[in-house]
Structure 1
Amino acid sequence: MDLQAHRIAEAADTIDPVFLNTPQFFDEHLGARLGREVLVKVETVNPLRCFKGRGADFLMSGLPPSSRVVCASSGNFGAAMAYTGRARGIPVEVFAGSGLNPAKAARMAAFGAEVITVDGDPHGAAAEHAAARGRLFVTDGKEAAVAEGAGTIGLELLRSGPFDAVVVQIGDGALINGVARWFKEHAPATKIIGVCAVSAPALAESWRAGHPVEIEPDTIAEGINIGNPVPESVVRMRELVDDIVLVDDAALLSAMALARETLGLTLEPAGAAGLAAVASHDLPGNRVATVLTGSNLNPALAATETRPAGAAMAG
């Protein structure tokens, strides 16, 4: 295991405080709707409106100031790299697919990134671009420092523990692996439950198979719309994650509505995936925690009507 608990503790002392010690609480209204105690950790109240700044900042803190960084992103990780790179004078280029959420594109550009959209595979295009120009190519789920930085969420969560389970959405895997690493070290009885989209199950299938399984994704949840898993992330997940469940897009929309109604929070679909899993699966235990990971909602989706969270959300 290349992720180290002492490095997560170090990250908690290193990361820009603007990303740390985010609100976490039990909400009685939410718990009544879900039929159990649910602690939510709100990672949307920072300059990025998502959790990605923790891992990006810890990674950037270890780079030489002469670095030039290239990454691929659906938006949130690119914004995090741009924000933390700007603070250190490190230029960042972000490759993204042509269907990039315009709100996320604007945030990346506002933080100083050069955003390059491509019709094909942005990850492959970014890797080729970095290699041709001698720049550092950073992959979100691959870099240990990114997962260790995200693991500070686990460190903070455990202050409100114990929990029967912690439910974490899976994008490239840095968040769940970092959180799980801390819990396996300090609260090993807690079950770590991952969440993928029904129509983007590549990480779930890879975890079950023990090696990357490519599946073309098609979900409204940009942050977990993963089709080509990072091998290093799959290896970590096999050791750290206890189970993975799937949620469909309708459940994500209902969870977004539930967050609005009970918490007064706007979430993007991936940000609500943990809530969707708690609502639609018989997860272990009555005291669980989940992370509300992002609120950078696509304007096209924000303009549509989402059905209210009704009886199906009773858990």
Structure 2
Amino acid sequence: MPKTRLDTARIRAARRLIAPVFRDTPLYRCEALEPELGCAVSVKLETANPVRSFKARGTEVAATRLAGQGRPAVVCASAGNLGQALAWSGRRRGLDVTVVASRFATAAKLDRVRALGARLELVDGDHETARRRAAAIARSDGIRLLEDSLDLETCEGAATIGLELVDASPSFDAVLIALGGGALATGIGHVLKEMAPGVEVICVQPLGAPALTLSWRERRVVTTGTTRTIADGVAGRCPIPAVLADLLVVADDAVLVTEASIVTGMRLLLDRAGLVAEPSAALGIAAVLEDRDRFAGRHVATVVCGGNVDPAAHRRWTGGR
């Protein structure tokens, strides 16, 4: 296949740097979801770990390498999940971690960043504002900036999920992957295209935060002015050109879904599978809900990529008490 920035040998090496608690996560066929979706569905559960998201696969790689290089400090911008993961990985290796986030980010995620010992700086504005501030801190303090999706540790750490999907039996017809900054999609997509090219790689993004999907469709970077989605973990506005170039190689399709379908997906994951999923983690289910005919008779896998959600908001969205 055409080249991406990723390398399968490095991905295999990265897997050895990740704490066992984040590897070999549950992957199982969830028959309780199938009557509603009209197809065979397997879920790859990335929430049953200390930070309740897939992000630590990348931060484990980055933190291990930073510690080995004698670099004691790192900063990142985060909507919450990357910050938690970097705080966990950094604390384990004695790193000084700073996380920059929007003050409008999910409070439960921010509280967890603090609890894990990171220095948290809040900014007015959205995630793109936080990215600019994190870059400024890195320059002024002379420390490492870990930029999600741009830095290969984040992509190749996420790509280890792809290795685990490829090892599954039976294989899948399609894998549905949440699309935000692009690390998860390009990482898993790279592995699937190299090792299981018959599997369709479908990226899913909210209609209210469509920048990378629009960029994939137009084959050029498309930025958006605002985002309007409950799926804060994928609500970027300014795609990274190098990430788009990788996505153009590995993605077979990129689709947009409505907020209503995301909420229904969260409700189904809770009611039928007993899973608390944040909105970004329900994007794959939402994609099937919106196009049942496309997936009828097929076996799809979806990555439940995070479970960090405000409890009151989750109850409101899913109809719980």
Deviations 1:133-184 (A, max 9, x none): 1111111010112111101111111222421111000111101111011111
Alignment of structure 1 residues 223-234 onto 2, 5 Å: 223-234=233-244
- Residue 271 (structure 1) aligns with: 281
- Residue 133 (structure 2) aligns with: 125
* Distance (whole Å) between structure 2 residues aligned to residue 27 and residue 133 of structure 1: 48
The answer to whether the 8 A contact 1:65-1:89 is kept is no
Runs of 4+ in 1 over 6 A off after TM superposition: none
Counterpart residue type for residue 60 of structure 2:
D
Q: Does residue 256 of the first structure (1) align with residue 266 of the second (2)?
A: yes
The answer to whether the 8 A contact 1:141-1:232 is kept is no
Counterpart residue type for residue 155 of structure 1:
L
Q: 1:248 to 1:304 in 2, by over 3 A?
A: same
Deviation at 1:279, TM superposition (A): 1.8
- Secondary structure at the residue paired with 1:273? helix
- Residue 230 (structure 2) aligns with: 220
Deviations 1:194-235 (A, max 9, x none): 000001000101112223211121100011111111222111
Alignment of structure 1 residues 78-89 onto 2, 5 Å: 78-89=83-94
Deviation at 1:67, TM superposition (A): 3.1
- Residue 46 (structure 2) aligns with: 43
Deviation at 1:277, TM superposition (A): 0.9
* Distance (whole Å) between structure 1 residues aligned to residue 50 and residue 207 of structure 2: 30
The answer to whether the 8 A contact 1:203-1:234 is kept is yes
Aligned residue pair count: 308
* Distance (whole Å) between structure 2 residues aligned to residue 212 and residue 92 of structure 1: 31
The answer to whether the 8 A contact 1:173-1:233 is kept is yes
- Residue 313 (structure 1) aligns with: none
Out of 294, 299, 304, which is 2:306 matched to? Answer: 294
- Residue 28 (structure 2) aligns with: 25
* Distance (whole Å) between structure 2 residues aligned to residue 300 and residue 227 of structure 1: 27
Q: Does residue 144 of the first structure (1) align with residue 152 of the second (2)?
A: yes
* Distance (whole Å) between structure 1 residues aligned to residue 294 and residue 180 of structure 2: 20
Out of 211, 220, 229, which is 1:202 matched to? Answer: 211
Q: Does residue 135 of the first structure (1) align with residue 147 of the second (2)?
A: no
Identity percentage of aligned residues: 40
Deviates more, 1:250-259 or 1:153-162: 153-162
Deviation at 1:306, TM superposition (A): 3.0
Q: Does residue 76 of the first structure (1) align with residue 81 of the second (2)?
A: yes
Deviates more, 1:53-62 or 1:188-197: 53-62
* Distance (whole Å) between structure 1 residues aligned to residue 62 and residue 228 of structure 2: 30
Deviation at 1:307, TM superposition (A): 5.4
Deviation at 1:128, TM superposition (A): 1.0
Deviation at 1:283, TM superposition (A): 3.8
* Distance (whole Å) between structure 2 residues aligned to residue 264 and residue 240 of structure 1: 32
Deviation at 1:303, TM superposition (A): 4.2
- Secondary structure at the residue paired with 1:99? coil
The answer to whether the 8 A contact 2:47-2:305 is kept is yes
Deviation at 1:254, TM superposition (A): 0.4
Q: Unpaired segments of 5 or more residues in structure 2?
A: none
Deviates more, 1:16-25 or 1:222-231: 222-231
> What TM-score, normalized to structure 1?
0.94
Q: Unpaired segments of 5 or more residues in structure 1?
A: 309-315
The answer to whether the 8 A contact 2:58-2:156 is kept is yes
The answer to whether the 8 A contact 2:267-2:317 is kept is no
The answer to whether the 8 A contact 2:209-2:235 is kept is yes
- Residue 311 (structure 1) aligns with: none
* Distance (whole Å) between structure 2 residues aligned to residue 12 and residue 283 of structure 1: 34
* Distance (whole Å) between structure 2 residues aligned to residue 297 and residue 263 of structure 1: 17
Cα RMSD after superposing both structures: 1.4
Deviates more, 1:16-25 or 1:2-11: 2-11
- Residue 312 (structure 1) aligns with: none
Counterpart residue type for residue 22 of structure 1:
T
Deviations 1:237-287 (A, max 9, x none): 011111001111111110011001111111110111111112212445601
The answer to whether the 8 A contact 2:263-2:317 is kept is no
Counterpart residue type for residue 62 of structure 2:
L
* Distance (whole Å) between structure 2 residues aligned to residue 261 and residue 300 of structure 1: 17
* Distance (whole Å) between structure 2 residues aligned to residue 43 and residue 65 of structure 1: 30
Deviations 1:86-117 (A, max 9, x none): 11111111111120211101111111111111
The answer to whether the 8 A contact 2:216-2:248 is kept is yes
* Distance (whole Å) between structure 2 residues aligned to residue 233 and residue 217 of structure 1: 20
- Secondary structure at the residue paired with 1:196? strand
- Residue 108 (structure 1) aligns with: 113
